[in-house]
């Protein structure tokens, strides 16, 4: 009989509550056992123990992407499995399953290198990459999943394997989420980008109603070294918010420019020339280690849900519906985030993976805080975009998806292959991913 190693909790052990919770507080896991893995062997023993005791398994890192909860069963937490080792000659990092992007960024920066991290550096690198991974340099280098060289996993049969030796498994893990194996570490590419030119321009939508259309037009002129987004949100009138922004309906243009040979200040000025001076302007050169300042997202754990669509274009008429449907008059706070895609995201990687919808030009997400089921509200905000929808993003879908919605995150043939591979690697359905392929 296999024994559990690493730290171990059951529902009556002190620390259970803290260990089962992550960043996303909505409908958390209620496992019978939790194993806090410190080594790949702890993961392997936990999987074997679960197999012997017919337990379902879920994996949690920092918990930003929590979706379907596990009731009973065994939760493996990976936050203590967080070593990052950089190989500066080959420009790669070996990243264990629980390392956050900030840990990878800091280790890489010591060698003038940077990973394909996203807007919030507290997110865990491995799960982000399993879901595709749309980062601050996405238009220049593609998805994070396009730059994975090796993946060490424990498959549901309890074997520790190198997934790159199995083309099907390696394909599925890069974009297909946590449905096929428990990843213990992966080797990813790093890029020679020590600094970014970036930050946010904050406008009051009441005073500058053309922010969204001006940003849209600007995105159609910029080179691939420019990855940008815009968040539209009503800010509360409370003293924690900077005085200039307090109580206003804000459009925050988020800019991440790889300096390379570009005139970065000139590019941003061309946007300011159209829109006028912003209420707050944080744009400038910053070391990659401070790249979290670009989106400046809140770091406090909370309950939230979101829905997302990938779009073929950003129709100006549909854009005009956002303040009406998701603005200050909406029944709950809605944050609409639009990201500019295209560029190298549209290219197939050298070793193909499960990431779908590379033709999408923009992604649009609507997110609200709270425990309530806001599916109907969020769907009504996304309805005007129906004719431009090419699919959905796995990573930006927070909260459970229906089977049809999950299917829409992949190409049709890709989804069929993922379903088949799920049967191959996890025939007993032991693994419960945040977005389960059944
Ligand atoms: C504030 C914020 C900003 C974000 N920014 C971006 C962004 O810029 N770009 C982007 O692409 N995404 C972004 N995301 C989405 C994020 O990448 C996903 O939600 C990702 O799954 C989060 O990983 P986590 O460790 O934080 O979450 P977790 O909830 O710990 O993990 C998510 C899921 O991944 C699976 N999983 C975790 N670890 C393993 C493992 N070792 N082996 C197998 N499966 C595993 C499990 O199914 C788990 O439920 C953001 C999310 C938030 C909340």
Annotated domain spans of the chain: 7-77, 84-192+411-425, 195-397
130 CA from centroid of ligand 1 (Å): 8
DSSP 205: T
Q: Which atom of ligand 1 is nearest to the CA of 60?
A: 30
Q: Atom 41 of ligand 1 has which residue's CA nearest to it? A: 183
242 CA from centroid of ligand 1 (Å): 29
The mean pLDDT of the chain is: 96
Q: Kindly report, residue by residue over 198-244, the tens digit of the pLDDT.
A: 999 999 999 999 999 999 999 999 999 999 999 999 999 999 899 99
Measured CA to CA, the distance from residue 412 to residue 375 in angstroms comes to 24
Mean pLDDT calculated for residue range 31-36: 97
115 CA from centroid of ligand 1 (Å): 16
User: Residue 4: what pLDDT?
Assistant: 83
Choice from 65, 310, 356 to test ligand 1 binding pocket (greatest atom count within 8 A of CB):
65
Q: For residue 399, what pLDDT band results from cuts at 50, 70 and 90?
A: confident
Q: For residue 146, what pLDDT band results from cuts at 50, 70 and 90?
A: very high
Mean pLDDT calculated for residue range 261-278: 93
The DSSP secondary structure of 299-352, one letter per residue, reads -S-B-EEEEEEEES---HHHHTHHHHHHSTTSSS--EEEEEE--GGGGSPPSS-
Residues at CB less than 6 angstroms from ligand 1? 22, 59-66, 78, 97, 118-120, 123-124, 126-128, 130-135, 178, 182-183, 297, 395, 433-434
DSSP 410: S
**Shortest CA distance to 311 belongs to which of 357, 345, 361?**
361
Q: Atom 47 of ligand 1 has which residue's CA nearest to it? A: 433
Mean pLDDT calculated for residue range 67-95: 97
Give the whole-number percent of the chain exceeding pLDDT 90. 95
Q: Atom 29 of ligand 1 has which residue's CA nearest to it? A: 63
Q: Which atom of ligand 1 is nearest to the CA of 393?
A: 11
Q: Which atom of ligand 1 is nearest to the CA of 297?
A: 1
Mean pLDDT calculated for residue range 60-65: 96
204 CA from centroid of ligand 1 (Å): 31
86 CA from centroid of ligand 1 (Å): 22
Cα angle, residue 92 at apex, residues 89 and 94 outer, rounded to 5°? 125
Q: Kindly report, residue by residue over 285-318, the tens digit of the pLDDT.
A: 999 999 999 999 988 999 999 999 999 999 999 9
262 CA from centroid of ligand 1 (Å): 32
Q: Which atom of ligand 1 is nearest to the CA of 65?
A: 19
Task: Give yes or no for a contact between 275 and 104, defined as CB atoms under 8 angstroms apart.
Answer: no
CATH number of 84-192+411-425: 3.30.465.10
Q: For residue 182, what pLDDT band results from cuts at 50, 70 and 90?
A: very high
41 CA from centroid of ligand 1 (Å): 23
CA 205 and chain centroid, separation:
27
132 CA from centroid of ligand 1 (Å): 10
Task: Give yes or no for a contact between 80 and 98, defined as CB atoms under 8 angstroms apart.
Answer: yes
Q: For residue 260, what pLDDT band results from cuts at 50, 70 and 90?
A: confident
Q: Please say if the pLDDT value at position 2 is more than 70.
A: no
Domain 7-77 belongs to what topology? 3.30.43
203 CA from centroid of ligand 1 (Å): 30
Q: Kindly report, residue by residue over 357-394, the tens digit of the pLDDT.
A: 999 999 999 999 999 999 999 999 999 999 999 999 99
Measured CA to CA, the distance from residue 258 to residue 26 in angstroms comes to 36
User: Residue 142: what pLDDT?
Assistant: 98
Q: Kindly report, residue by residue over 314-332, the tens digit of the pLDDT.
A: 999 999 999 999 999 999 9
Q: Please say if the pLDDT value at position 1 is more than 60.
A: no
Mean pLDDT calculated for residue range 343-358: 97
Choice from 128, 296, 355 to test ligand 1 binding pocket (greatest atom count within 8 A of CB):
128
133 CA from centroid of ligand 1 (Å): 9
Q: Which atom of ligand 1 is nearest to the CA of 433?
A: 47
206 CA from centroid of ligand 1 (Å): 34
Cα atoms found within 13 Å of the Cα of residue 63, Cβ hemisphere only: 23
**CATH class entry, domain 195-397:** alpha beta
Residue 123, Cβ neighbours under 10 Å: how many?
23
Choice from 64, 143, 436 to test ligand 1 binding pocket (greatest atom count within 8 A of CB):
64
Task: Give yes or no for a contact between 333 and 223, defined as CB atoms under 8 angstroms apart.
Answer: no
Q: Atom 8 of ligand 1 has which residue's CA nearest to it? A: 118
63 CA from centroid of ligand 1 (Å): 7
**Residues with Cβ < 8 Å from 243, sequence gap 6 or more?**
none
Match 């290198």 to its residue by tokens.
113
Mean pLDDT calculated for residue range 256-275: 93
Q: Atom 7 of ligand 1 has which residue's CA nearest to it? A: 118
Q: Please say if the pLDDT value at position 417 is more than 60.
A: yes
Q: Please say if the pLDDT value at position 128 is more than 90.
A: yes
Cα atoms found within 13 Å of the Cα of residue 203, Cβ hemisphere only: 22
SS3 73: coil
């Amino acid at each position: 009989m296999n024994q559990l190693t690493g730290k171990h909790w059951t529902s009556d052990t002190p620390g259970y509550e803290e260990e089962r919770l992550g960043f996303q507080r909505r409908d958390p896991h209620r496992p019978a056992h939790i194993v806090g893995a410190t080594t790949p062997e702890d993961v392997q023993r936990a999987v074997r123990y679960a197999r012997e005791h017919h337990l379902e398994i879920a994996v949690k890192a920092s918990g930003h992407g929590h979706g379907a909860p596990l009731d009973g069963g065994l939760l493996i937490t990976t936050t203590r499995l967080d070593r990052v080792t950089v190989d500066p000659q080959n420009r790669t990092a070996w990243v264990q399953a629980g390392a956050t992007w900030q840990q990878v960024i800091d280790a890489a920066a010591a060698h003038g290198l940077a990973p394909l991290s996203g807007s919030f550096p507290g997110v865990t690198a491995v799960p982000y990459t399993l879901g595709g991974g749309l980062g601050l340099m996405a238009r220049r280098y593609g998805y994070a999943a396009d730059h994975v060289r090796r993946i060490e996993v424990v498959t549901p049969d309890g074997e520790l394997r190198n997934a790159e030796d199995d083309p099907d498994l390696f394909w599925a893990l890069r974009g297909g989420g946590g449905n096929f194996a428990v990843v213990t570490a992966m080797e990813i590419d790093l890029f020679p980008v020590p600094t970014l030119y970036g930050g946010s321009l904050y406008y009051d939508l009441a005073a500058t109603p053309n922010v969204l259309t001006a940003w849209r037009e600007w995105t159609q002129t910029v080179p691939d070294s420019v990855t940008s987004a815009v968040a539209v949100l009503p800010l509360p009138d409370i003293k924690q918010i900077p005085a200039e922004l307090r109580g206003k309906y804000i459009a925050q243009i988020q800019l991440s420019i790889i300096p390379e040979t570009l005139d970065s200040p000139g590019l941003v000025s061309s946007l300011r020339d159209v829109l006028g001076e912003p209420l707050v302007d944080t744009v400038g050169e910053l070391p990659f280690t401070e790249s979290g300042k670009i989106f400046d997202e809140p770091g406090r754990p909370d309950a939230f849900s979101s829905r997302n669509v990938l779009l073929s274009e950003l129709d100006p008429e549909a854009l005009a519906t956002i303040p009406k449907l998701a603005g200050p008059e909406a029944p709950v706070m809605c944050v609409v985030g639009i990201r500019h895609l295209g560029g190298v995201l549209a290219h197939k990687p050298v070793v193909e993976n499960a990431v779908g919808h590379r033709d999408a030009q923009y992604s649009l997400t609507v997110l609200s805080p709270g425990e309530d089921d806001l599916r109907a509200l969020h769907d009504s905000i996304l309805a005007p975009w129906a004719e431009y929808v090419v699919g959905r993003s796995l990573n930006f879908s927070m909260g459970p998806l229906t089977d049809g919605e999950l299917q829409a995150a992949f190409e049709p043939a890709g989804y069929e292959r993922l379903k088949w591979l799920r049967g191959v690697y996890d025939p007993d359905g032991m693994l419960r991913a945040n977005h389960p392929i059944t």
